[in-house]
């Protein structure tokens, strides 16, 4: 039996696609997004973490008049379990908002925007 018929059509060299490098947002870019999201409201930084690739987590907080607060958090796509980050990993680069009551208990939240194909897309 002919070898090509026994194994089917096997290309001589498999084509290896180059992995597309993802855009890694800078602190300046994320700050711009935060400012667009919160407008003129003053906010404070809760936590800002970087690694060898740059910014991977940034949380800001806005205190509300009723004692509650609003937190916006940027997280870069990746696995952060070995860094001890709660949740451990993110499947997408995104900014989320979480609303807290006056006791600091989260009461709701959602994604505000995600980085898709190097563009920030608002999420409903």
Give the span between the Cα atoms of 17 and 36, in whole angstroms: 37
pLDDT in tens, 68-88: 999 999 999 988 777 767 667
Tokens of 117: 């194909």
- Tell me which DSSP letter residue 8 carries: -
pLDDT given for residue 19 in this prediction: 52
Q: Where are the beta strands (DSSP E) in the chain?
A: 44-51, 54-63, 69-75, 78-79, 89-90, 94-100, 106-116, 119-122
Is 57 in contact with 49 (CB distance < 8 Å)? yes
pLDDT given for residue 61 in this prediction: 98
pLDDT in tens, 19-72: 567 789 999 999 999 999 999 999 999 999 998 899 999 999 999 999 999 999
Residue with tokens 């451990």: 88
Q: What is the mean pLDDT of residues 101-116?
A: 96
pTM score: 0.78
């Amino acid at each position: 039996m002919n070898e090509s018929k026994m194994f089917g059509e096997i290309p001589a060299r498999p084509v290896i696609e180059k992995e597309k490098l993802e855009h890694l947002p800078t602190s300046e870019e994320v700050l711009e997004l935060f400012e667009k999201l919160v407008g003129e409201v003053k906010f404070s930084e809760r936590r800002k973490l970087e690694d060898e690739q740059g910014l991977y987590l940034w949380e800001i907080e806005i205190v509300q008049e009723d004692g509650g607060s609003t937190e916006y958090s940027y997280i870069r796509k990746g696995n952060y379990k070995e860094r001890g980050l709660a949740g451990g990993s993110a499947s997408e680069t995104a900014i989320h908002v979480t609303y807290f009551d006056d006791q600091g208990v989260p009461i709701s939240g959602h994604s505000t925007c995600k980085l898709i194909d190097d563009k920030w897309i608002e999420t409903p």
